[in-house]
Amino acid sequence: MDFHTAAKYASLLSKEYAEDIFKLLVNYQAISASEVATRLNLHIKTAQDFLEALEQLGILSKEVVLEKKRPYYRYILKQTRLVIDIDLMQVKREPSQNSLSSHIREKENAGARFSVARNDDYITSVTIWTGNGREREERKIKLTTPQGRFLYHLPFPKAEPLTVDEIMQKAGIDEQYAPEILDLVQLLEKLNVIEAMPEAYE
């Protein structure tokens, strides 16, 4: 199950009326949104949205019923057991040759402040200011030790750029830390602290 689907399950299950609705679904052969609403004293739209969300997830099925020529849905429970199973490794950032060979350096006039550790061999955090005037906000990004060592060896704005892999080697960072290094590089590129030039230096 992916995170998006799991989040839908979690959102529904977190509703204060979720357990009561499931009790009705288990004990009734079929039930309509209006019946759920009146039984639990809920707004009809609240009940309808909840049941529709369950149907979209495949937990319920629905059938059209005609009553006085006005159709409505009755919902039937399809699954009596819900299992949320998330493989966390699906979000692991696997380093590619392209990502490691991207040439980068600090961007000129980025306006970021790099806080150096007392022993002066790695960066502990990066502070960035965004917005203007009263909307100006400070954002401080704490770094892991490998990330701090990586940024300590990041080329200055006017220096010759290096590849991500070259900076990691220069900083003595094992390749097992590549995913968190690439995550930081991507974030700092987005915040205009790092500039990437993969084509000019290949």
Q: What pLDDT score was predicted for residue 109?
A: 86
Would you state the pLDDT for residue 198? 60
pLDDT, tens only, 143-185? 999 999 999 999 999 899 999 999 999 999 998 999 999 999 9
Q: Per-residue pLDDT for 201 more than 60?
A: no
pTM assigned to the model:
0.67
- Within 13 A of 79's CA, how many CA atoms are on the CB side? 10
Give the helix, strand, coil percentages of the chain, each rounded to 5: 40, 20, 35
* Per-residue pLDDT tens over the stretch 82-137: 988 888 887 776 777 678 888 999 998 888 899 988 877 889 999 998 777 777 78
Looking at domain 92-196, which CATH architecture does it have? Alpha-Beta Complex (3.90)
**Residue indicated by tokens 């977190």:** 14
Domain ranges (residues) in the chain: 3-77, 92-196
Question: Rounded mean pLDDT of the chain?
Answer: 89
Determine the pLDDT at residue 197. 81
Ordered strands of the 113-116 beta sheet: 113-116, 123-130, 137-142
Q: Is domain 3-77 given the CATH code 1.10.10.10 in the classification? A: yes
Q: Report how far residue 112's alpha carbon sits from residue 195's, in angstroms, rounded to the nearest whole number.
A: 13
Query: Is 27 in contact with 76 (CB distance < 8 Å)?
Result: no
In Å, what is the CA distance from 193 to each residue of 1, 19, 107? 35, 48, 5
Q: What average pLDDT does range 64-77 have in this prediction?
A: 86
Alpha carbons 110 and 196: distance in angstroms, whole number = 13
